[in-house]
Structures are given as C-alpha cells and as structure tokens.
Amino acid sequence: MQRYKRPPESFMQDTALPEALIPKEIVKYRWDARNMKIAVAGTQRRSGVTVTAFNLAAWLIARGASACYVETNTNRHLNWIVNIYDAEKDGEAYPVGGIDCYFTNELDKDYNFIIYDCGEIKEPPTIFREADIRLLCGSILPHEAKDYLQVLNACKDMDIHKLGLCVPKPLQEFCRESLNKDIMIAESSHDLFENNINGYIYLPMVKRFIINI
C-alpha cells in the first residue's frame, strides 16, 4: 500500500462528501418488490453492520416501502435493542422504531424488503450468497484494510456493494485509491432510526424496484 501524505487544505475540502448527493426531502415511491433479500455484513467486529441495516430499513420505510430487520448472527444485539426500547412481540416480530425485527428467519408476513444483519464474516454465509442485494461494511483505514481485502477475496464471485465506514475526510480518497475504487464512503450514523442518511448509496441499489421513478 502506498504511503499516505497529508493533503493540502484545498484537497481536504474537495474530498468531503458532496452535500448535493444527500437528499434534503423524503420522497414517497411506489414499489414493485416482494421479499427482496438484502444482506448486510461486516469485515470486522463493530464495523457498523447493525446500524447500517437499521438505517437502510428506516430509509426504505420512510420512502413508502415495507421492510423488516432479521438478525442472522450471534452477537445478540437485537436482544439488547428490544429490551432497551421495551418492544412487545407482535406475531413473530418485535416492532422497534417502526421497524419489524425478527430473531429468526421465520417471518409471518410479506415485505418489500427483508434486511439480514449477518454481522462480521470471514467467508460469506448462505444468506449472504443467496441475497438479492449484498452490502459489505467495514473500515478501510490502512491498518484495517487487510480484513476488508480478505473478505472481498472470499466474495470475489459475487456482486457486492462495498461501503467504507468512519473514514476521516482527509483519508477518504487515499483509502479508496489504495484499496478499491468501487468502495463508497458512507456518512457516519449513531442513530438506529436515521431515515435520511446515505441515500446516495441506497437509492441506486433499489432503484430498479421503484415504479415510474
């Protein structure tokens, strides 16, 4: 990997995420999708997979789609979330912040999109392989890029949307050029139910399911 040189101030400003790409208004769409599977996985522990999965569900629901969250890892984050928000079971789901959450893949209704939280992976699990849309999240900072590359190599035969999370703006372009130019830099989020962030990433992924966009 090439050495990093601190860029001049003008370059640091140029590499910031363009605000024009971030939608200011929430638009409701009509959707042509039934139980489309979206798998979200991470290249390291605490790589933002759960927040990304929840944010994606919230983003879709805010735009008129039905979506749910399914925990398919052993981290038990959903148990903590359900307890914190005092969610009461409704059928097989635990509604939290307007999002139906499931501890297992035993859904009792149809949705436009089913979002699977795969947690950290080293090799792609079946749910990730068989998904209609796949997101890979992780740090692409120089000291952690090895983990990202290892998972990319394990998934090289798949169509994957690659996300780099928590990358300081001065390092964004350097990390992308050094690792993989197709990686999209996601805005950081600390709110599970944020529904208007990273739309410039989510919209192209699901655009084909929108009627008359």
C-alpha–C-alpha distance, residues 126 and 98, integer Å: 28
φ, ψ at 118 (rounded to 5°) = -85, -10
pLDDT tens track, the chain, 213 positions:
444 444 444 333 333 344 455 556 899 999 999 999 999 999 888 778 999 999 999 999 999 999 999 999 998 899 999 999 999 999 999 999 999 999 999 999 999 999 999 999 999 999 999 999 999 988 776 666 788 888 988 998 999 998 887 655 655 665 566 665 678 878 888 899 999 999 999 999 999 999 976
Cβ(182)–Cβ(44) under 8 Å? no
> How many structural domains compose the chain?
1
Cβ(117)–Cβ(50) under 8 Å? yes
Q: Which residue segment(s) compose the domain that 142 sits in?
A: 33-209
pLDDT at 213: 66
Across the chain, the runs of DSSP E, i.e. the strands, are 36-42, 67-71, 94-96, 99-102, 113-120, 133-138, 161-164, 184-185
CATH no. for residue 51? 3.40.50.300
> How are strands ordered across the β-sheet holding 36-42?
94-96, 99-102, 67-71, 113-120, 36-42, 133-138, 161-164, 184-185
Tell me, yes or no, whether 139 lies in a domain.
yes
Tell me, yes or no, whether 27 lies in a domain.
no
Tell me, yes or no, whether 19 lies in a domain.
no
Helix H segments across the chain?
A: 9-14, 49-62, 77-84, 126-129, 145-154, 169-179, 199-206
Cβ(166)–Cβ(46) under 8 Å? no
Cβ(73)–Cβ(128) under 8 Å? no
Tell me, yes or no, whether 3 lies in a domain.
no
Tell me, yes or no, whether 81 lies in a domain.
yes
C-alpha–C-alpha distance, residues 199 and 180, integer Å: 21
Name residue 99's beta-bridge partners. 96
Tell me, yes or no, whether 11 lies in a domain.
no
Longest C-alpha distance within the chain, in Å?
A: 56
pLDDT at 14: 37
Tell me, yes or no, whether 70 lies in a domain.
yes
Tell me, yes or no, whether 115 lies in a domain.
yes
3-state helix, strand, coil in the chain (%, to 5): 30, 20, 50
Cβ(112)–Cβ(67) under 8 Å? yes
Cβ(184)–Cβ(163) under 8 Å? yes
Give the global pTM. 0.84
